[in-house]
Amino acid sequence: MLKNYKGRIIFHIDMNAYFCSVQCKLNPSLRGKAFAIGREGTLKGVLSTASYEARKYGIHSAMPIIEAYKILPTLLVVNHNFEAYKKYHYLFIDIIKQYTNLIEVASIDEVYADMTEISKRVHPLVLAKEIQLRLLRELDLPCSIGIAPTLFLAKMASDMQKPLGLTVLRKREIEEKLYPLSVKDIFGIGKKTYPKLLDANINTIGDFMNPSNRDLIISLVGINTYEYATTHILGKSSNEVKPDRYNNSKSISTETTFDIHKSSMIDILSSIRALLREIYQRLIKGEYVCKTVVVTLRDSNFNTISKRQTLDEYTDDLFTFNSIAEDLLNELFNEEKTYRLAGVGFANMVKRSELKEEYNIFTVTDRTEKEANINKLLSEINKKYGDETIYFNKNKKK
């Protein structure tokens, strides 16, 4: 019990290798094996996540399947089961709700929970251990829990011990526990950003926080990133869990009906890309980012099928959207059928400004300067000459 504690007690509950854990529950024969989630039976596409056994070989999320097989030819690749992921998401949320109503869903496999009130009666470490054991016993799902006075520090704490970790991070322990960690462990530092820091001999969080390195770091990552990162690391960021923070999340989609039914995947892909460019402009103009891409087909017999892929992070990267849409179409298309309709959409959308308000670099996918400049140039050209003047096509030029 912490009756006299005046700060907030924030839990970050992070399900360990969630997609893989759910798959193991559905198929216990996968336990202890090196496997990953992706497109089964093909070398196309990328992996969504990998089991801890597979990670030992260097296999990770967003890795092309063909590269993963080169590393580990015996790797098992298992298809997504989004319905099961959603089902167990709601089940584990229901367990957390038995302890507090102040729950903020960060993604399908992680939540923030304000445990301040209940911690006046029960010690937070006892609560965390109870929640961890209940999720494991009742749902057969492992998790790590970070306990801290801010959302960011709780997230950092949950990442420090996986799987089945339980870590407390107090403000007075920041230098002791965080500063020795690698700079790449700063939550939200992009995979294309931290190598710049390492190359400049900014190796640890302590190096990042050293005032003598300030000018060098700003020259590498920019003043905004530097200030947001240092503020969060020092525990000066938000301690407010907002259950309705993303209730205004939106989705957009569009579709086209073919006057003459199509049987060529190349023709349908061309239509999908045109539709994607249309909603991409709406995404950018609305200043949104998203996590999920959806592709829909309707055949000549009016049978409608859809598939979606959800990323680990929010993004507005057109290269990524095009790649995912093509992968999804490959999964849906049946060369023995003809199609009367094709559609594409974005889901799990949030305003970029809403992410920046709370997390800034800590939730938005990092993009290279080159990609950002290309997207800016495309937008300027299309604004001046029309939305379809120029667009990305990774297979051929137009």
Specify the higher pLDDT residue, 346 or 379: 346
Integer Cα distance of 13 and 130 in angstroms: 12
Per-chain mean pLDDT for the chain: 86
Cβ-proximal residues to 145 (8 Å cutoff; 6+ apart), any chain: 11, 12, 13, 14, 128, 131, 132, 158, 165, 166, 167
Is there a contact between 169 and 233 (Cβ–Cβ < 8 Å)? no
Active site residues: 110
Is there a contact between 250 and 288 (Cβ–Cβ < 8 Å)? yes
Question: Does the global pTM surpass 0.75?
Answer: no
Sequential DSSP letters for 302-365: --EEEEEEEEEEEE--HHHHHHHHHHHHHHH--TT--EEEEEEEEEEEEEHHHHHHHTGGGTBP
C-alpha angle 83-87-92 in degrees, rounded to nearest 5 = 150
Q: Is residue 344 scored above 90 in pLDDT?
A: yes
Q: What is the mean pLDDT of residues 369-397?
A: 53
Domains defined along the chain, listed by start: 1-169 (3.30.70.270), 171-241 (1.10.150.20), 250-385 (3.30.1490.100)
* Ramachandran assignment for 45, one of left (phi > 0), alpha (psi -120 to 50 degrees), beta (any other): left
- With CA atoms as reference, report the closest residue to 236 among 227, 244, 245: 227
- With CA atoms as reference, report the closest residue to 280 among 379, 348, 377, 363: 379
Is there a contact between 296 and 255 (Cβ–Cβ < 8 Å)? yes
- For the stretch 114-154, pLDDT in tens is 999 999 999 999 999 999 999 999 999 999 999 999 999 99
